[in-house]
Amino acid sequence: MLLPSLAAGGAELAWIADLNGPAARHAAAKFSAENAASDYRPILNDGRVRAVFIATGHHTHARLVCEALDAGKHVFVEKPLCLTPAELDEVESAVRHHPSAILMVGFNRRFSPHTSKIRDLLTGRTAPLCMSMMVNAGPIPAEHWTQDPQRGGGRIIGEGCHFIDLLSCIAGAPVASVSAAMVGQGPAVRDDKMSILLTFADGSVGTVNYFANGARDYPKELLEVFSDGRVLRLENFRLTRGYGFKGFRRFKTARQDKGHAAELARFIAAVERGGEPPIPFAQIRNITEASFAAVRSARERVIVVL
């Protein structure tokens, strides 16, 4: 998703690095990057490079973010930002030491035109929201690296953070508390079948049902938002329906649009023009902490207040 969008957006690609040298060379040729490498350090040492994109294994994100910030680069890192609270503190320290650098995490769904439409329609609401996010995630084998807590962080920290961020973005408020439950003994992996209850600082509530045991032909992502006697229903980031709204019934895009192109455009514009990052770090930290809290809550059967 990143390289085609960057190339289409007019970004000048100086380097592509991959541990697999031939893969790096192939990608560099395909997307007109000047250089290919199997080591990322030449990128950080290149004074021409203003921004780096980190799309490596989850367990490397925090370290590479800190190294890139220390090298004077703006940073876009795919989710998750990190895997542990200690890593989150290290990243926050690096952000504080480099206040002019932009750090962005790939929470693309908040940049979808459907999310923007929903937020516009909810402008002027008079009461907290009630939100329900259903994620038909599909199975990943227990031995896959994403399921490894040390390497991938598990699917809630590694991917569920997307939907926590989406609900926070729609509410326009940080997560205040997290309560979660996962299925009982039996499946080889339990924490990819989890219900997460979130409360937000503005009084809104939301649930993220992240289930990996559904059918492939069932919709993958469904969001419902209840507000002031009205309901919005988002189906697979292609169709948003409205119930009880005057003058609005539906908004449809030609194809599924989860916001990838828009988020990259916002990041590139921020790098070029300076100013505030597209997502303030306080929000990134809150969402990351909430994903940690969901796993802890499900395992320890406690409510976690952030």
Using alpha carbons, select from 14, 17, 52 the residue that is nearest to residue 33: 14
Domain contains 263: no
- Tens digit of each residue's pLDDT (9 = 90 or more) over 270-291: 999 888 899 999 999 999 999 9
Q: Which of 49, 80, 105 is the last residue of a domain?
A: 105
Share of the chain above pLDDT 70, in %: 100
Per-residue pLDDT for 7 more than 90? no
Q: Provide the CB-side half-sphere exposure for 67 (13 A, CA).
A: 14
Distance between CA 113 and CA 234 in Å, rounded? 11
Q: Looking at the structure, tell me whether residues 54 and 81 fall in a common domain.
A: yes
Shared domain check, 99 and 126 = no
DSSP tally for the chain: helices H, then strands E: 10, 14
Does residue 220 form part of some domain? yes
Whether residue 68 sits in one domain with residue 128: no
Q: What is the distance between the terminal CA atoms of the chain, rounded to a whole angstrom?
A: 32
User: What pLDDT score was predicted for residue 112?
Assistant: 98
CB within 8 A of 291, min separation 6: which ones? 80, 156, 157, 160, 161, 164
Q: Is residue 262 part of a domain?
A: no
Contacts of 136 by beta carbon, 8 Å cutoff, 6+ apart? 211, 214, 215, 218, 219, 220, 221, 222
Q: Assess if residue 227 is contained within a domain.
A: yes
DSSP string, 41-86: HHHHH-TT--EEEE-S-GGGHHHHHHHHHHTT-EEEEPSPS-SSHH
Single out the residue in 105, 134, 157 at which a domain terminates: 105
Judge whether 272 lies within some domain: no
User: pLDDT tens digits for 145-186?
Assistant: 999 999 999 999 999 999 999 999 999 999 999 999 999 999
Do 188 and 91 belong together in one domain?
Answer: no
Does the pLDDT value for residue 24 go beyond 90? yes
Answer yes or no: do 129 and 95 share one domain: no
| Residues shown for the chain | 306
> Which amino acid is residue 140, in one-letter code?
I
3-state secondary structure at position 91: helix
- Token pair belonging to 263: 């988020």
Residue 42: give the domain boundaries.
2-105
Segment 118-154, tens digit of pLDDT: 999 999 999 999 999 999 999 999 999 999 999 999 9
Give dist(CA 280, CA 278) in Å, integer.
Answer: 7
Please tell me the pTM assigned to this model. Answer: 0.96
**Residues 96, 8: one domain?**
yes
What CATH number did the domain enclosing 117 receive?
3.30.360.10
Domains in the chain, number: 2
Task: Tell whether 86 and 34 lie within a shared domain.
Answer: yes
Residues 96 and 236 in one domain: no
Tell me, yes or no, whether 274 lies in a domain: no
Tokens read off for 114: 């459907």
Domain boundary among 71, 105, 139: 105
CATH number, position 34: 3.40.50.720
So what's the pLDDT on residue 2?
Answer: 86
Q: Is 179 left (phi over 0), alpha (psi -120 to 50) or beta?
A: beta
